[in-house]
Amino acid sequence: EVQLLESGGGLVQPGGSLRLSCAPSGFDFNSYAMSWVRQAPGKGLEWVSTISASGYSTYYADSLKGRLTISRDKSKSTLYLQINSLRVEDTAVYFCAKHRSAVYDAFDVWGQGTMVTVSS
């Protein structure tokens, strides 16, 4: 079964940093582009970042650019999202998602999400 399992969320103070992880199973992780999507409490879905299958191409939402780093470790088969200078408005559930294939494609598998709460 194809699955994604996020981890790394938690409570962090404003200005802090967090690294989220996403562990895939059931498919060849190295063959697919991956993304992060977030959802603030009671709000809609917001795309955050995408990385190509090779890892050479990365893309970020303009509203978050400069504070994010998306990466993937082929040896560990893990996707990461580093978020710096966290703000209260970054409070959300962060989902990782697998693309059907390439960067310009829909998300066919989603993880269950990890909650990030930014508060003093």
Partner 1 sequence: DIQMTQSPSTLSASIGDRVTITCRASQNISTWLAWYQQKAGKAPKFLIYKASSLESAVPSRFSGSGSGTEFTLTITSLQPDDFATYYCQQYSTYSRTFGQGTKLEI
Residues of this chain that bind partner 1 (CB under 8 A): 37, 44-47, 50, 59, 61-62, 95, 100, 103-113
d(CA 119, CA 40): 14
Closest approach of Cβ 91 to partner 1, in Å? Answer: 16
Closest approach of Cβ 1 to partner 1, in Å? Answer: 12
Closest approach of Cβ 47 to partner 1, in Å? Answer: 5
CB within 8 A of 69, min separation 6: which ones?
80, 81, 82
Which residue lies nearer to partner 1 by CB, 13 or 106?
A: 106
Which residue lies nearer to partner 1 by CB, 29 or 107?
A: 107
CB within 8 A of 101, min separation 6: which ones?
32, 33
Which residue lies nearer to partner 1 by CB, 33 or 86?
A: 33
Tell me the C-alpha to C-alpha distance, in Å, between residue 92 and each of 29, 100, 101, 105. Answer: 25, 24, 26, 24
